[in-house]
Amino acid sequence: MESISVLGFAASASDDGLRDNLSFRCVTAHRETIPVALRRRSSQAMHLVFSAASEACVQARRSPEALPVVFASVAGEIQTTDQLCRELAKADGLISPSAFHNSVQNAAAGYWSIARQCTQPASALAAGQDTFAMALLEAWCQLAGLGGELLLVCYDECWPGYLMPGSGRSALACALMLAAGPVEGSIARLGRPQRGTIPAFPAEWRQAVDAMPVLAAIPLLEWLANGGAGTVLPISASSAGWWLEAGI
């Protein structure tokens, strides 16, 4: 397989300042995208995921229940996990079973599958600064091996400030509807993620992506929104140097 096709894409952010600085459409994180029965257990991460993923499905005219999904997040449900750790440190050490249930890395993937009645495979991964790059590589491998289409969602909610001061302050989710090989009517084609020397990550986003690795998706999202000739795009700001070739 020489390329995968992008059929739709979307992004969601909770910070007005971040959205104002993006050159592509980025929707507000709406909890209303989550069914009422699940809403009371929802987190900022879930609001972001559901908003971006729902928008991408609508844009691509695809039904969520029919799509395998790949979810990727550096810290996952970090606010809930932090809450559990603080409760465990107390004298009684009692924790909420519901909070424990919601603290796992694949919580968003599970709730998406339940809400959208999706019985297709769902993956959840984390890879630090390379999380977005590894999400694309995982999507590539699944499409190369199984064909068809899948939904990729990369996200992170705001992290507790004292865990890593200066990090985790720009919550974002992005979703890409991808298909194996060339597809008529696709937005773009993406080559296989590669590792090696590439042009530097855009200077205007370097500090932000160092603090919040999910923002490594911005160069690709900007390119998808604004078009252009074939190009090499960084998909990670780490020293590993992950990149891919993109074309129309």
Average pLDDT value for residue range 10-33: 91
The pLDDT confidence band at residue 113, using thresholds 50, 70 and 90, is very high
Beta bridge partners of 4: 180, 190
Q: Please state the rounded mean pLDDT for residues 4-15.
A: 96
> One-letter amino acid identity for 182?
P
Q: What is the pLDDT of residues 199-234, one digit of tens each?
A: 778 889 999 999 999 999 999 999 999 986 678 999
Say yes or no to pLDDT of 194 above 90.
yes
pLDDT of amino acid 89: 86
Q: Is the pLDDT of residue 10 over 90?
A: yes
Q: Note the CATH number of domain 4-185.
A: 3.40.47.10
- pLDDT band for position 97 (cuts 50, 70, 90): confident
Percent of the chain predicted with pLDDT > 90 = 67
Residue 39: the pLDDT is: 82
CA distance 25 to 11: 7
pLDDT at residue 229 in the model? 66
Confidence of residue 167 (pLDDT cuts 50, 70, 90): confident
pLDDT of residue 49: 95
pTM of the model: 0.93
pLDDT in tens, 178-188: 999 999 999 99
- Maximum mean pLDDT: which of 22-36, 106-120, 132-146: 132-146
pLDDT number for residue 57: 96
CA angle 55-109-126, nearest 5°?
A: 105
Segment 39-89, tens digit of pLDDT: 877 889 999 999 999 999 999 999 999 999 999 999 999 998 888 888 888
What pLDDT is recorded for position 147? 96
- What's the half-sphere exposure (Cβ side, CA atoms, 13 Å) at 178? 29
The residues near 116 (Cβ < 8 Å, ≥ 6 apart) are: 64, 65
Q: What is residue 67's predicted lDDT score, i.e. its pLDDT?
A: 97
Q: Which of 145-149, 174-178, 202-206 has the lowest mean pLDDT?
A: 202-206
Three-state secondary structure of the chain: CCCEEEEEEEEEECCHHHHHCCCCCCEECCHHHCCHHHHCCCCHHHHHHHHHHHHHHHHHCCCHHHCCEEEECCCCCHHHHHHHHHHHCCCCCCCCHHHHHHCCCCHHHHHHHHHCCCCCCEEEECCHHHHHHHHHHHHHHHHHHHCCEEEEEEEECCCCCCCCCCCCCCCEEEEEEEEECCCCCCCEEECCCEECCCCCCCHHHHHHHHHCHHHHHHHHHHHHHHCCCCEEEECCCCCCCEEEEEEC
Average pLDDT score over the chain: 91
Q: Is the pLDDT of residue 106 over 80?
A: yes
- The token duo for 171 is 């919550």
